[in-house]
């Protein structure tokens, strides 16, 4: 009989178990988290950017970034995510490295985090010194006339023989003090009569008064390029102040387009910083839409709309190396149901802003500060994040988002984006975001 060189099955099994028990504890698909250090070489992001993948054995000590990543990873076991969606990413700006990412390329609704996209694009393309302008124009030079009051008295008067045009630049701040300044520009020249019409020019933008994808039952701001205290009441306010100043109007107040031959008489200017402050701190949707249409106006002097505004955002997105067709930019404020962004996009814009001092220095002071002001004034109080996190909130039905900056306890500057969707209660999303922020700061 031919000799069998194999060991009997029972003996082989015993030897195999002895060999297995004698091996050191190494990662074979199941890892003891208390003993694993995720070094720079041991963490990668897969092609879809969905999960951190452990690919190396434990190291003796965790870096600060790895500690943060482990803290955040532990938060991802929240039962909230059994029925809702979340995408987030954290980036160490000081080390220029990704700290942690989860579903960071998922398309999600950004709510008012759309305002970050609008703000960074505006600061990049328009610049931090950009001015909103409301302009008075005339088609005739003012004439000086002398009126005989009696046999011994002759009065001097200045008359505007033609039309006065008011070209709206979609200044959302414009109010009573500004209307007074416009009237004062006339009276300071001695003008006491306008023999033509006062023509209000709303032609900067299209005639759509609501954004694309806005809900019919929301209290939406009017998308009108001549406003008074945020309402479509400029005509009545201007006429009242004109009368109060004693300026007679021979014609009427009407809407039309300013002719190309009209000459600038006076310009009322508003710095973009004044608009951005309220847009970000108070999350004012009208202010954000006005900025979105400032971007759109770079495509043409009249009749611009959402498509032109989105095209300007697309141009920056492409320049930063991302594919703009992945996203949908339906408005400038985040009110629209049609907006779609990703944590990766928001983080890319925050990184870009940080790399450009002119943009960063203009953006950072406008972001709400945790526990201190704006829409974060009541959040994260009494934690390491209070006074540290500077970030933009976002809330619409079913959505809660938070993206911005903070400083870790080792002094490194971090950028982060957290997007919660599918919520029945937005407070749950805010609570999760607050826990993440504390994990970044403590």
- Confidence check: pLDDT of 18 > 50: no
**Per-residue confidence (pLDDT) for residue 58, from 0 to 100:** 53
User: Who has greater pLDDT, 58 or 31?
Assistant: 58
Quick one: pLDDT at residue 217?
A: 74
For the chain, which residues make up each domain, given as ranges?
68-127+303-441, 131-274
Q: Which of 98-112, 135-149, 174-188, 244-258 has the lowest mean pLDDT?
A: 135-149
How many residues can be counted in the chain?
A: 442
For the chain, what is the mean pLDDT? Answer: 87
Does pLDDT of 349 surpass 90?
A: yes
Rounded (5°) CA angle 90-54-432: 35
Strand 97-102 vs strand 253-255: parallel, antiparallel, or unpaired?
unpaired
Ramachandran angles phi, psi of 2, nearest 5°: -75, 135
CA 106/CA 88 separation, integer angstroms? 9
| Class (C level, CATH) for 68-127+303-441 | alpha beta
Burial of 5 (0-12, 13-18, 19+ CB in 10 A): exposed
Is it the case that residue 270 has pLDDT exceeding 80? yes
In CATH terms, is domain 131-274 a member of 3.50.80.20?
yes
Contact in structure between 36 and 25 (CB atoms under 8 Å): no
* Average pLDDT value for residue range 314-327: 98
- The residue with greater pLDDT, 174 or 52, is 174
Query: Which 3 state secondary structure label does DSSP give 417?
Result: strand
Contact 89, 344 (CB under 8 A): yes
Share of the chain above pLDDT 70, in %: 83
- The predicted structure's pLDDT at residue 156: 67
- Nearest-CA neighbor of 287 among 296, 303, 276, 271? 276
Worst-scoring range by mean pLDDT, 28-32, 163-167, 420-424?
A: 28-32
* Three-state secondary-structure class, residue 341: strand
The pLDDT value given to residue 153: 53
Task: List helix spans (H) across 37-144.
Answer: 64-75, 114-125
Residue 413, pLDDT > 60, answer: yes
């Amino acid at each position: 009989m031919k000799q069998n060189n194999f060991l009997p099955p029972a003996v082989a099994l015993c030897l195999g178990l002895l060999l297995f028990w004698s091996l050191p504890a190494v990662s074979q698909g199941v890892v003891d988290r208390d003993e694993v250090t995720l070094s720079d070489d041991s963490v990668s992001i897969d092609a879809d950017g969905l999960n951190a993948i452990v690919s190396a054995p434990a190291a003796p000590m965790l870096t600060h970034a790895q500690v943060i990543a482990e803290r955040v990873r532990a938060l991802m076991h929240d039962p909230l995510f059994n029925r809702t969606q979340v995408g987030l990413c954290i980036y160490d700006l000081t080390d220029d490295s990704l700290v942690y990412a989860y579903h960071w390329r998922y398309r999600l609704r950004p709510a008012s985090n759309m305002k970050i996209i609008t703000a960074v694009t505006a600061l990049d393309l328009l610049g931090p010194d950009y001015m909103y302008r409301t302009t008075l124009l005339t088609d005739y030079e003012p004439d000086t006339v002398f009126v005989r009051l009696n046999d011994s008295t002759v009065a001097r008067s200045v008359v505007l023989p033609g039309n006065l045009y008011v070209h709206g630049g979609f200044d959302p701040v414009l109010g009573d003090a500004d209307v007074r300044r416009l009237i004062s520009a006339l009276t300071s020249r001695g003008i006491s009569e306008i023999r033509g019409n006062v023509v209000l020019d709303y032609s900067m933008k299209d005639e759509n008064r609501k954004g694309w994808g806005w809900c019919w039952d929301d209290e939406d701001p009017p998308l009108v390029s001549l406003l008074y205290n945020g309402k479509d009441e400029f005509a009545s306010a201007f006429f009242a102040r004109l009368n109060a100043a004693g300026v007679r109007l021979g014609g009427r107040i009407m809407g039309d387009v300013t002719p190309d031959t009209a000459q600038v008489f006076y310009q009322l200017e508003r710095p973009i910083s004044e608009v951005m402050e309220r847009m970000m701190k108070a999350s004012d949707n009208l202010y954000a839409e006005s900025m979105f249409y400032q971007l759109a106006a770079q495509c043409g002097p009249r009749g611009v709309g959402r498509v032109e505004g989105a095209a300007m955002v697309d141009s920056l997105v492409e320049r930063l190396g991302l594919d703009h067709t992945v996203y949908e930019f339906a408005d400038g404020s985040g009110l629209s149901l049609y907006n779609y962004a990703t944590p990766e996009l928001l983080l890319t814009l925050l990184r870009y802003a940080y790399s450009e001092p002119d943009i960063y220095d203009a953006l950072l002071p406008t972001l709400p500060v945790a526990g201190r002001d704006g829409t974060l004034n009541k959040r994260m109080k009494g934690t390491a994040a209070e006074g540290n996190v500077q970030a933009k909130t976002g809330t619409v039905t079913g959505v809660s988002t938070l993206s911005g900056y903070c400083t870790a306890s080792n002094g490194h500057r971090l950028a982060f984006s957290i997007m919660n969707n599918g919520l029945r209660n937005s407070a749950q999303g805010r609570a999760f975001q607050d826990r993440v922020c504390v994990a970044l700061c403590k």
